[in-house]
Every structure is written in C-alpha cells, then in structure tokens.
Structure 1
C-alpha cells in the first residue's frame, strides 16, 4: 500500500511505500514532457528537507504523457531557461537542488524510461543508482542551445562513463539508448517498462535491509576525495564500531552460525 505525501505539490507526485522506509517521487508535468521548472525545483527542495530530517530511501521516476509514451525528464524548462541571466546562473538553481539530492543521507534511485535529456540526465546523475529500460534515452544537448551542462552534467557524467564518452555526449550531441547506457555503466540494470518501478523498489528494499547508519556513513565516505583516505575511513569505522546495530547484527550472525 502507498501513502500519498505533499498533496499540495503540483509538479511531483510523492508517496510512501513499504511502511514508510521508501519514498517514491514521480515527476508529473506530462504536458511538457516533465520539463524541470521553478515549481518542480521548489518541490524537490521541500522533499529533500523532509528526507534530511527523516532519512528514507528515495526513488525518482517519470510518468506517462498524454500520447502514452513514458518520459523521465526532457530537460530544464526552456521557456524559463531562456529568461535566466548571469545572476541566475551564479545562483545555481538546478545545480543546488541536484547537489542536495546527491547529498541526501540515504541512497537515491533514478528509474528512467524514455527521455532523460539535459537537466533530466543531470537529475538522474545525482542519484546513487540508475535503473532503466532499453527505450531510455540519455543525452546532454545544452551546447546546441548555446549553453553548457552546468548542473553536474560535466563532472558527474565523466565520473560515470569516462572522459572519452563524456566528450561525445557533451560536445558532439551523442545520445545513448538503454543498452548503451548499461554497456558504459551509466545504469546498473535494464528492465521492461512494466517492471521498471518494481525493480527500483526491489533495489530499495535490498538497501533497507542494511543498517541505516552504516549506509549513511558509507555513502558519505564514498563521496570523500582520495586525499581524505585512509584517515576518514578509520574515523567512520570508529563511529560504527560503537553503534548498537553493529553489536546486535554481529551477535545475530554468530548465533546463526551456531545453529
């Protein structure tokens, strides 16, 4: 059973799954192919504030348009983007929300079917996991519009697929389909469209089986620069060695071995 949250939202449909341990946020502007506008950004900030206060696993998915096609997000709302100035760019409107999503305490899963272009791909890149369909399309067409992929679309994409392929996508307009995205490790798995959300939920449930504090600290350590290691690992492990869950889980493991 799902429980709907934030009923005042206009650009997102948010529900709580599996006793509240998983939150599903579906982008819902089908009339403009889920273009990311100011309203959606504002609602994503409100959702992040809630997940920062009460950490839960987040799944971000798209919706179905009026013509029956699935869409993740076609990019930023061009009508709004056209009017933005250098001051807006310095504020990092999309950059800030994608960074906030990337820094959520517990993992984020992007379930991608259809287009994930421009800001749509940048949103997916802010997730810890990406699952997709073979029909998914991933690209960064910003240079064709006279701008660049500035909301994480350069460095996050390079980290995911490597420098050579990132250049093809960013500088030559290459668009990857789902199979190519899997081949180049942009996504972790492919599923039929009817099974995509179930696959994302199953992944979320597997994460939920782990210790929440251990997941949060591991995610933070993964984001640290190489220069922070191994010292940050020792400090993080010291915290976990004293956690009640460590003792309980290890004792349960030892008890199972005795049977």
Structure 2
C-alpha cells in the first residue's frame, strides 16, 4: 500500500476550547481531492451542530498546494456547476464560530481559497500564497474572485488572479492577508492556539453574533447589528459578565 492510502485525509482533534483539523496528505502536499472535501463537509456538520472555534493547518510544512490536478483534469462542465470545492469552502466560511488558518509553506489555488475562507490567517516565513489557475486553463472559482478582493483590495487581487502573482510571507502580511507571521509551523500553530484560547474566554453567543454581522453584506447594516444587539441585551450571560466587570472595578 502506498503512503497515505491507509489514513484519513483530515485529522481532527478536540483540544477542549477548539478543534484542530490537519490536512493530512503530505505526500501530495495536501492537495485537495474529493476525499478531503468529503471530510471537510463531515467536519462542518459537526461544528454546525456543536459550535467550536476551528484551527486549520496542513501536515508536512505545506498548508495545501492546490487542488488535486489528476482529479481536476477529469472534471467536466457538470462538475464545475456543482461547485465541489466552492460549496465546501463556503460552508467553512459560514461556520458559527471563528476559523483560524495556519498557513505554512505553499497555499496555492484551492489551498489559497481554503485559507481565504478563514476568519483569521496566521502565516510562516516560508509562506507562498496565490492563484495560478489561469496557467492551468481554468479560473479560481472556489472563492478567490470575491473573497480576495475584499481581503487585499481590487488592484492586488487583480494582479494575483489575472497575472498569477504569488505573494511571499512579507508581501502577504503587508497586504493584510496574514495578520501574524512566525518562523515556522510550530510557532504559527502556537500563535493560532493562543488566539483560540482568547476566543474561548469570550461569550460564545456574542462571538457568533459578531461573526454573523461581520460576514453580512453592506446593505444589511445597521439593521442586522441592531437586531443581534437586541437579542444579546436580553441575554443572562450579558448581565452576568457586566455585573462581574462592575464588581471587579469596584473592588479595586
């Protein structure tokens, strides 16, 4: 049996305050194939039913070097319309709690689009991220054409998508695509775990409401903000947390 065929493509660990999911196809540089997409859907089902923060990483010093080209070559028009990767990444982006991507090494094509679907991205010095799809005769159709413009602005998004520009780590951080940059994957994962730990201390209902508002289209504001705030204003957890805050302040 060849390497990788006897293990699941996605390794999922419950770390208490968050879920750590590791893309585990290092022999293929974590290329995104149908089995991995199916595993991501299974993970989404779990996190939709029992919301937790998700930390996504890749095994072997690579986040995901793209889609599995052997499978992609055989796909036809019906597969494109089915949005195989698109729907999985949309589901990742819509998870109730925050998604943190640890982007180490290559994050290209579909790998980049999976990273774009996260709420927070932590990178390493070896990071290379971008969308070279047009060189393969296709477009970046799993989220890059709308998410990347919102993340880095239209001029840079155009160069990445139309000219195949690949950003290195300093460029990705300067563009705001990566908010933290670390020496290696272990340090980046530790930083992501620290962020997940901070989130775990916050009110889950308020965090989920904030994510819904943050992801809402511009014309939904301010109505969605006020509606979510109205629900939270009636929350016993809001009263408890604010009472504790005032008591701590008075005790000083």
Considering the TM-score relative to the shorter chain, is it more than 0.5? Answer: yes
1:9, distance to aligned residue in structure 2 (A): 6.4
The counterpart of 2:216, out of the listed 197, 219, 224, is: 224
Aligned length: 245
Q: Runs of 5+ in structure 1 lacking a partner?
A: 1-7, 65-69
1:92, distance to aligned residue in structure 2 (A): 0.4
Show the counterpart of 1:61. 57
The counterpart of 2:41, out of the listed 45, 70, 76, is: 45
Show the counterpart of 1:249. 241
What CA distance in whole angstroms lies between the structure 2 residues aligned with 1:81 and 1:236? Answer: 41
What CA distance in whole angstroms lies between the structure 2 residues aligned with 1:127 and 1:71? Answer: 17
What CA distance in whole angstroms lies between the structure 1 residues aligned with 2:49 and 2:17? Answer: 13
Alignment partner of 1:97 is 2:56: no
Alignment partner of 1:235 is 2:227: yes
Show the counterpart of 2:103. 112
Show the counterpart of 1:152. 143
Query: What's the Cα RMSD here?
Result: 1.0
Q: Pairwise mapping of residues 1-259 of structure 1 onto structure 2 (< 5 A)?
A: 10-17=8-15, 20-64=16-60, 70-193=61-184, 194-259=186-251
Q: What is the TM-score when the length of structure 1 is the normalising length?
A: 0.93
User: Closer, same or farther in 2 for the Cα pair 1:247/1:59, shift >3 Å?
Assistant: same
1:237, distance to aligned residue in structure 2 (A): 0.5
Q: What is the TM-score when the length of structure 2 is the normalising length?
A: 0.95
User: Closer, same or farther in 2 for the Cα pair 1:25/1:252, shift >3 Å?
Assistant: same
